[in-house]
Structure 1
């Protein structure tokens, strides 16, 4: 009797399994959807240094960060160095164009002038906005007339180069004719309001075509001649006493995460 009972149970079990298999058979399936996913995080020091993105595609130059090893998530990666050349002492009011910055071509064939720019990279992923400001110290020397009284720098004109497909995220440039006074208040040159400025943004001074025209002009000698960038100028009163020496100043660039008032 034990054998019969066990056999009966086995038969019933088999019947149940066959019935279940029949119940779950499906119709034809011709379309299926599944999920894809990617997660982003704010960049940090562990992700390595940021790379400068030149605001012009020609000429092909490789421009290093102003501070080597700059990392995210919110950083100034490039600002211009301003050299206004060698000038003759004058008793008249004078305005001098900035000497164009030069950099090596990527193909190693020499140097070329390029437009000056300040670049901010925001890889926080918060869209919180930021404000880039600059201030100027006195132009000084170690000679008798050691301060260029009344000297000032003017950003004559500019444009924004935003490396993003959504132009609504582009930050705002300063107004034309922005002036820096020595020891004066810092001035905003590029401002990203809330919701703007994610990625790489540049405030650009100068016209690359004009710089190249000067550089490639007949008779231009890169050993003795200079290319001038008229988008940034230094003005000095004629009444300011000037010694035959080099005067230097410091430009301090500061990036804050809270946007300031637009200039």
Structure 2
């Protein structure tokens, strides 16, 4: 999978100018008067390039009840002022061969509970892709993803007609001013091999500074499935895989490559890859 260099929090230098004073004195008639002197406080921010980034797990929204988890960046230790920090990893599980058209929900990604180790302490979590923009230029950006064929080493080695669909999504923007949030894709966005990249999150000029995530899944639903002892596999229905019934399928594993690309200007076809 193609990953993009990660970003860092902007460094800052601070200069405090000379302080002021307030003086009190009495006039000729003995009345107290006050004179005031003003000063300035100044701080200058510059894009940083040498501080490791961290993933900020998106909040789960009203009633979501998201667990406290630790999530690693895609490429730990890398830096950069405009970066992809996290992307979604899609596993559509073990399925029975069928001659009917089928849609398969992805298996929910599992994340480590904070302060723990071991797979037994992992919990289902929403999938998301996260971008951090600390350039300080407000130029905007565009995040796209493309997909190869699902292939195997068997006789029928291409899962012809297979497509991934992003059924629903939402944006989690960590800035205080939510009017500066980037835009998400429309529901039902389809990702097909050989047709180029599709935009999953776009920040028009003037928007998207800071940390932004496009989120797939409902955390409350994942929590409920996980708590149900009769459910063996927790599914995230926000992302699904369509496979035609007419496609020949061998009893083996098929794998596709997903490439995520971040452009330094907004728009699905604009910008230079970072």
Normalised TM-score (structure 1): 0.84
Structure 2 CA distance for aligned equivalents of residues 150 and 43 of structure 1: 44
The residue aligned with 1:148 is 159
Residue 93 of structure 1 contacts residue 235 of structure 1 at CA under 8 Å; is this kept in 2?
A: yes
Structure 2 CA distance for aligned equivalents of residues 128 and 143 of structure 1: 47
The residue aligned with 1:10 is none
Alignment of 1:59 onto 2:67:
yes
Structure 2 CA distance for aligned equivalents of residues 219 and 226 of structure 1: 9
Alignment of 1:37 onto 2:42:
yes
Structure 2 CA distance for aligned equivalents of residues 26 and 201 of structure 1: 58
Q: Where does the alignment leave 5 or more consecutive residues of structure 1 unmatched? A: 1-24
Deviation at 1:184, TM superposition (A): 1.4
RMSD of the alignment, in Å? 1.7
Q: Where does the alignment leave 5 or more consecutive residues of structure 2 unmatched? A: 1-24, 28-32, 61-65, 270-274
Structure 2 CA distance for aligned equivalents of residues 186 and 72 of structure 1: 23
The residue aligned with 1:233 is 240
Deviation at 1:29, TM superposition (A): 3.8
1:256 equivalent among 260, 263, 266: 263
Deviation at 1:26, TM superposition (A): 10
The residue aligned with 2:197 is 186
Please state whether the residue corresponding to 1:244 is helix, strand or coil.
coil
The residue aligned with 1:106 is 114
Residue 217 of structure 2 contacts residue 238 of structure 2 at CA under 8 Å; is this kept in 1?
A: yes
Alignment of 1:75 onto 2:83:
yes
Name the structure with the higher strand share. Answer: 2
Residue 130 of structure 1 contacts residue 259 of structure 1 at CA under 8 Å; is this kept in 2?
A: yes
Structure 2 CA distance for aligned equivalents of residues 120 and 130 of structure 1: 9
Structure 1 CA distance for aligned equivalents of residues 55 and 191 of structure 2: 25
1:101-250 aligned within 5 A: 101-108=109-116, 110-220=121-231, 225-250=232-257
Structure 1 CA distance for aligned equivalents of residues 160 and 132 of structure 2: 36
Please state whether the residue corresponding to 2:179 is helix, strand or coil.
helix
Structure 2 CA distance for aligned equivalents of residues 116 and 236 of structure 1: 21
Deviations 1:142-195 (A, max 9, x none): 110000000000000100000001111100000110000112110000000000
Give structure 1 regions of 4+ aligned residues with deviation exceeding 3 angstroms.
25-32
Residue 70 of structure 1 contacts residue 77 of structure 1 at CA under 8 Å; is this kept in 2?
A: no
2:97 equivalent among 89, 95, 118: 89
Normalised TM-score (structure 2): 0.81
The residue aligned with 1:6 is none
Deviation at 1:96, TM superposition (A): 0.2
Tell me the number of residue pairs that the alignment of Structure 1 and Structure 2 aligns.
232
